[in-house]
Structure 1
């Protein structure tokens, strides 16, 4: 093992990689915010980040990923596996995802708000967000399967994980579209409550026991 690395501290090489990724992302955010997504080129991002265009492509093969990737998937899987064994899978997913979102908001709220702006303004970014959410769901399916004693390719596991991640994606887009006035974590929490309630949806005027016309 590299002497510079510990279970809690990445190696020097890994830290350099993370620093490079962060520099590329921040450069892209500045440029896209100032001049628009379509007008921003890989070459411009590379120059602003002081790296080569090939380095940008090596770290982010898809341009949209520069604005979306937060390097959290592996951490989400680890945290999901670490949840109590007797916890309901939906509650486990709620905890690890809401904790990750809360941390991102606390660490760099400006970047989170910019990402929301790009989701609304750039169709390519929104389309890629849908793809990456599905990819995250497939990764989390493995941990969900382990916790429930199922095969990762079981239909129920795939549907469950895709439904949860898809619903949380939609809540995130809703938050971005509506001026980001509500707390994102609160909206995500409400989303899980909706799933947990069995997807029952009634009119706002409905009250239990009220006679239907």
Structure 2
């Protein structure tokens, strides 16, 4: 499907229900966001989003396991989704984006005070593997609790679950051996979440905090 050069400002979610579509061309429009539902288009092999105003790619994009060519050149992308490496891409075009660079600077570490909701959620996540625990049984019987806990995120360092408070980081991935990529891009910045500064300060990992101007 070719929708290039149409001054589109958004994509209707209904478009993402076209599960048999193998190519989608949306270049040279005015798109700012891509719907999370893009992940439903499981037969896409080529997705062209170049020359738009896209700032963030949705996590749903990483569900497109048949995608082989992704063109997001000429947008406003700084960082790629957490599961970007799950894609089996053969070609990735991402030039002319303000991608984060690997330029470490010193920063002040300020731990955020956890809410009671966050404390309770982390306790439940830590006990969730024990199916015979009282907490596990109680949560299964509470629909509201299940809905809240379904938003669980996982720390890339320790593997523990958390809810709403995290440290947003970036890791730089060399994907040149896996796929054809824009010449001027040497390392791909991929979003990473850590549960605390304790994990961030653990030696040996390749995560960098994101500096906010």
The TM-score range, normalised by the shorter chain, is: under 0.3
* TM-score of the superposed pair, with normalisation by structure 2: 0.27
Pick the structure with more strand per residue. 2
Q: Hey, which of these two has a bigger chunk of helix by percent? A: 1
- TM-score by length of structure 1 reads 0.27
